[in-house]
Amino acid sequence: MAVLALVGTRKGLFLLRAGDERSSWEVEGPLLDGWGVYHAIVDERDGSMYAAANHLVYGPTVQRSPDGGRTWRRSTQIALPEESGLTVNATWRVQPGRPENPGVLYLAGDPAFLSRSDDGGETWEANRGLLEHPTRNRWPASRGGLILHSVQLDPSDPQRMYVGISGGGTFRTDDGGATWAPKNKDVEFDLVPDPYPEVGQCVHKLLLHPARPERLWQQNHCGVYRSDDCGDTWERLDGNGLPGPFGFTIMLDPADPDVAVVIPEKAYEYHYTVNGLGVYRTQDSGRTWKRMVHGLPKQAWAAVLREASAFDSESLYFGTQSGSFFALSAGDRWVEGVRHLPPILSVEVTAWSA
Amino acid sequence: MVRVVVPSMLAAQAEGRQRFDVEAETVGDALRALPVADLVLNERGELRQHVNVYVDGTDVRETGALACPLTGAHEVRIVAMLSGG
């Protein structure tokens, strides 16, 4: 299956295309030239492309392309309710809704908001349950912002979804977004005096396994965790062979819920990989981790951001802040498909046919 | 009628148009008439912090900002103030 990778960078969006082997990549771009593309995705329901595009001067936007990136149109309304006293600092992720809800999308961003569109991304309305959450005053903002970034829809329950907030923690709704319960039990937050608070944890990336939706994985500021009960309890896994607790991204295998892949970085004021570019995989639910570095540079001080990795049924993909894009090819060998891009902020993949 | 000139990235967000002739009594009216008004003004309708606007060469922050009258003005120029290396 040929693949199209949407690679968001600090200076625009690049479309990378490869055939079955994923060894040779063609580059198109930059689209949305000059925009910091925090995330871009193809909505598999209708083929539209969405981008969370931000600019230092012109501010946050959501952009939609109906024609594969040739033309783009901004959402006309992304503002937060005036009475909240909040304004959108940045858009971080556009998450298409469920197959049975065409036209529904979710927008995640800073300051820790989740908005919903019912009109294909033209207008957005903020979720009040999160905006007015009773614990919100205990979500600590950081220099990088107060970011709601992960949005996970439970395919087995139309009323259930999860969000991950840095820093705020994991929250779950079982009533379609009306109310949200903190799901941070046993998740450490070692920057504060009480290291196991109800909320405030710094989730870096939260993923639900599509084939086993009660299983969640998270790369946290303070460790890698797995939950097998919809977030009610968490087991810490980074002590089982990872070089450290810190990292941003995590990848899964859609066919095997016991597989997860992380890229640890030097904690926590430093944010780069040590001992080269080290990718670690578990195939036993996190009991053990093994390095998978065939094809990766041994001399590297790389940073891979939370949105800068992706996976599909055939491969894994990630991009670095130094502008290199890697894909896993046959024999667990990484191929540097493209280099010298602007700093990579996000990677998504979708099937593509020439 | 006053002519509004926008920089390249804003033009790219307006189907390539860099110049707009608009009927406007104030700078605010002129900016709100643009198809890129949301990129020049923040969601509260204020001029974005690092967007500068010049009316015939004078920075409007010295002359009333969005309320600056455009009587007799010819050109409103928008500049993005970016620094870095």
Q: Structural domain boundaries of chain A?
A: 3-351
Do B80 and A57 count as a contact with CB atoms less than 8 A apart? yes
Percentage of chain A beyond pLDDT 70 is 100
Chain A residues whose CB is inside 8 A of the B14 CB are none
Residue A281 CB partners (closer than 8 Å, separation 6+): A259, A260, A261, A289, A290, A292
Do B82 and A88 count as a contact with CB atoms less than 8 A apart? no
pLDDT reading at A225 higher than 80: yes
Do B51 and A76 count as a contact with CB atoms less than 8 A apart? no
In this structure, is residue B52 part of a structural domain? yes
* pLDDT for residue A142: 84
Q: Which stretch of A8-12, A140-144, A167-171, A271-275 has the lowest confidence by average pLDDT?
A: A140-144
CA distance B51 to chain A (A): 7
- The per-residue pLDDT for range A32-86, each reduced to its tens digit, is 999 999 999 999 999 999 999 999 999 999 999 999 999 999 998 999 999 999 9
Do B38 and A57 count as a contact with CB atoms less than 8 A apart? no
pLDDT reading at A87 higher than 90: yes
B37 touches chain A (CB under 8 A): no
Which of the two residues, A142 and B27, has the higher pLDDT score? B27
pLDDT reading at A353 higher than 90: no
Chain B residues whose CB is inside 8 A of the A81 CB are none
Q: How far are the Cα atoms of A251, A293, A317, A335, B35 from residue A332, in angstroms, in the given order? A: 15, 9, 12, 10, 49
In this structure, is residue B54 part of a structural domain? yes
Chain A residues whose CB is inside 8 A of the B48 CB are 57-59
Q: Parallel, antiparallel, or unpaired for β B75-80 and B2-5?
A: parallel
**What is the Cα–Cα distance from A184 to A192, expressed in whole angstroms?**
15
* pLDDT for residue A180: 98
Predicted confidence band of residue A354 (pLDDT cuts 50, 70, 90): low
* pLDDT for residue A275: 87
In this structure, is residue B71 part of a structural domain? yes
**What is the Cα–Cα distance from A289 to A197, expressed in whole angstroms?**
28
Chain A residues whose CB is inside 8 A of the B13 CB are 74
- The per-residue pLDDT for range B8-62, each reduced to its tens digit, is 999 999 999 999 999 999 999 999 999 999 999 999 999 999 999 999 999 999 9
Which domain does B27 fall in, by range? 2-80
Residue B57 CB partners (closer than 8 Å, separation 6+): none
How far is residue A305 CA from its own chain's centroid?
9
Amino acid at A148: L
Mean pLDDT for the stretch of residues A257-284: 94
In this structure, is residue B19 part of a structural domain? yes
Mean pLDDT for the stretch of residues A154-181: 97
Predicted confidence band of residue A285 (pLDDT cuts 50, 70, 90): very high
Burial class (CB in 10 A: 0-12, 13-18, 19+), B13: buried
Looking at domain A3-351, which of 2.130.10.10, 3.40.190.10, 3.40.50.300, 3.40.50.720 is its CATH number?
2.130.10.10
Domain count within chain B: 1
Q: Indicate the average pLDDT of chain A.
A: 96
Do A78 and B13 count as a contact with CB atoms less than 8 A apart? no
CATH number (domain holding residue B21): 3.10.20.30
* pLDDT for residue A14: 98
Predicted confidence band of residue A200 (pLDDT cuts 50, 70, 90): very high
pLDDT reading at A181 higher than 70: yes
Among B12, B42, B82, the residue with its CB nearest the CB of A59 is B42
| B window 2-21, beta carbon within 8 A of A | 9-10, 12-13
Print burial letters for A143-176: b (CB count within 10 Å at least 16), e (below 16).
Answer: eebbbbbbbbbbeeeeebbbbbbbbbbbbbbeee
* pLDDT for residue A268: 81
Q: Which stretch of A19-23, A152-156, B59-63 has the lowest confidence by average pLDDT?
A: A19-23
- The per-residue pLDDT for range A287-338, each reduced to its tens digit, is 999 999 999 999 999 999 999 999 999 999 999 999 999 999 999 999 999 9
Predicted confidence band of residue A3 (pLDDT cuts 50, 70, 90): very high
In this structure, is residue B85 part of a structural domain? no
